[in-house]
Each structure stands twice: as C-alpha cells, then as structure tokens.
Chains A and B, each alone.
Chain A
Amino acid sequence: MIMIDTIFTPWQSLAGGALIGLASVLLMLTLGRILGATGILAGVLTPTTHPDTGWRLAVLAGMVTGPLAVLALTGQMPVVQVPVTLPMLLIGGFLVGIGVTYGSGCTSGHGVCGMARLSRRSIAATATFMVTTAITVFIIRHVLGA
C-alpha cells in the first residue's frame, strides 16, 4: 500500500461536516427520514411496497452531483486519492456492503443521525465500527507493513 500524506484541514472539514448536518436536519424536517447513505441506497436496490424509490433516487442524484457543484463553484474537482489496490477495493467494498446491511447503517445513518438522536443502537454501532476500522488500518499498515 502506498501511504499518501494529507494536510490537516480543520476549517474545511468543519464546514463540510456542518453541511452534512444541515442536510440531515432538512431531510428530517421535510420527509421525516434519517439521512443514511446505506438505507437510501439499499432502499433503491431492493424496494419494498412503499412508494419510496422516487425521493431516494432524487437524494442519490443530488449526492452524485455534489462534486460537480464543487467544481463549478471553486474550479476544482474534490480530491480523491486512493492508496489501495483494486482487489482491496473489491474485497473491502463487499465487506462494507455485508456489514452495513446486517448493521442497519453506516457513518451517516448511525454515526451522525442516530448519534444525534442519542440512539443506543447507533452509539454502540458507531463505537464498534470506529474500533474495528482503526484496528484494520493498524494491522494493514503496521503489522503487515503493506
């Protein structure tokens, strides 16, 4: 694995985080829904009987055009640096899919919306995945030394 140094960006990250929070609050205010990337994607992939596919597709379309809006506003595409190999992306992506489905959520649904509601399940889930992510990164970078 290639390690890429990244610069500490407290203000940019804080502003970005505040926008993520604003979007979460607005979705609850208008549609009464949790803004969870997992729930919204899974809801489109395996729709139930409820007529919920439309608004979920609209949210996804908005998400995907986010980087283009940043490009239009600042003249620069957001930086995406991928220091991992293709097999790692595929294996890791598959594990993320399994995990978020069994765990009923990810960083946005549990980590932001659920934690903000002080949900026991979301707090437990967030604590669990933060720890296993840190352990995984430690093993890959410092034990396997990849």
Chain B
Amino acid sequence: MRYVTSYVIGLIFGIGISISGMANPAKVLNFFDVAGNWDPSLIFVMGGALVVTFIGYRFVLRRTAPIVDATFHLPDNPHLDMRLLGGAAVFGIGWGITGFCPGGALPALGTGRFEVVAFVAALIAGIFAAKALMALTGTRAARVLRRET
C-alpha cells in the first residue's frame, strides 16, 4: 500500500514536471535569461505548485499524524548558516550552467535521452563527493575538538 501510494505520487509529480516544462533545460534557461529571449512560463509552474501546496499543507498539517505513518517528518532547524546558503548558491550555478535541477532531471530520465543520463550521473557523483567531504571535515572538526578539550 505504502509503495503503491508512493509510486502514484511520484507519477503525478513526473507528469506535472513533464507538462510544466521543468524537464526542458531550454525552457528553464530562457526563464532566467530576462536579458535575452525570456520565457516567463516557470513563474506559472512555481505559482501553481506553491498555491496548491500552501493550501493543501494547511489542511494536512492540521491532522495529528499522516495516514500511513505515525508522525510528520518535518525539518525543524530554524537557523540560517553558510552551509545552507553556500550550498544553495553552488546549486544555482550548476542549474544555470545546465538548465537541469534534480526535480526536473529525474522525471526527464524517462525520455531516455543521453544528456539527461549524463547530468544525473554527474549529479550522483556530486552528492557522493559532498557526503565524503562532509564526513572528512566532520571527523577533522571532531579531532580538533577532542584536542582542545
């Protein structure tokens, strides 16, 4: 039941991405190219998604728990830090170079296009590299802390 539900939700997301234009890098890049051949379509994608989610969440999060889980899994860290903002800045540079974001590229894999496969392979390599780097700097920070205390 859990898996069928998850699959259908992924499918709705994938269809939404496909018809919205988010899976098309040319459209994404033209949205950001206000000084060139601007295509404002992505405002409508973001607007449609935000309005539905904003209203839907108001009702859903009023419940004490979701339907097939004991609790809501919501991030509760309120702090802004360099890791968040630096990461977001680097993500934007990559998005601007390629026109693909993860939510656009994963459904686009279904088209079987080689360019999407190449992007997703590099994306996965980047995720592993960042996790390794985090583990490395994390253990170094822990070592420094141990030495100082």
Contact = CB atoms under 8 A, between A and B. Distances in A.
Interface of A: 3-38, 41-42, 45-46, 54-56, 58-70, 77-84, 86, 88-104, 106-108, 110-117, 119-121, 124-126, 128-138, 140-142
B49 A17 contact: yes
B36 to A, nearest CB: 6
Interface residues of B, number: 115
Given A22-B12, A96-B98, A102-B86, A133 B92 contact: yes
Nearest to B33: A137
B142 interface: no
Contacts of A121: 75, 77-80, 84
B104 A107 contact: yes
Given A20-B45, A98-B87, A62 B113 contact: no
B116 to A, nearest CB: 7
A56 B94 CA distance: 24
Interface in B1-34: 2-27, 29-30, 32-34
A96 B99 CA distance: 10
A21 B110 contact: no
24 contacts: A8-B39, A16-B15, A16-B20, A17-B47, A19-B15, A23-B16, A30-B69, A31-B5, A32-B71, A34-B73, A63-B13, A69-B11, A70-B19, A77-B111, A90-B122, A91-B94, A94-B125, A95-B126, A97-B127, A102-B90, A106-B103, A115-B50, A120-B78, A133-B93
Interface of B: 2-27, 29-30, 32-37, 39-42, 44-54, 56-57, 60-61, 63, 65-69, 71-75, 77-80, 83-104, 106-111, 113, 115-116, 118-131, 133-134
Given A62-B6, A93-B94, A108-B102, 16 more contacts: A9-B41, A19-B20, A24-B49, A27-B6, A31-B66, A45-B127, A61-B7, A63-B107, A84-B98, A89-B122, A97-B126, A100-B91, A103-B90, A135-B92, A137-B32, A137-B33
Contacts, number: 494
A102 B93 CA distance: 14
B109 to A, nearest CB: 5
Given A80-B113, A94-B125, A66 B5 contact: no
B101 to A, nearest CB: 5
A27 B9 contact: yes
A67 B107 contact: yes
A66 B17 contact: yes
Contact of B16 (A20, A31, A141): A20
Given A27-B9, A80-B115, A83-B99, A14 B48 contact: yes
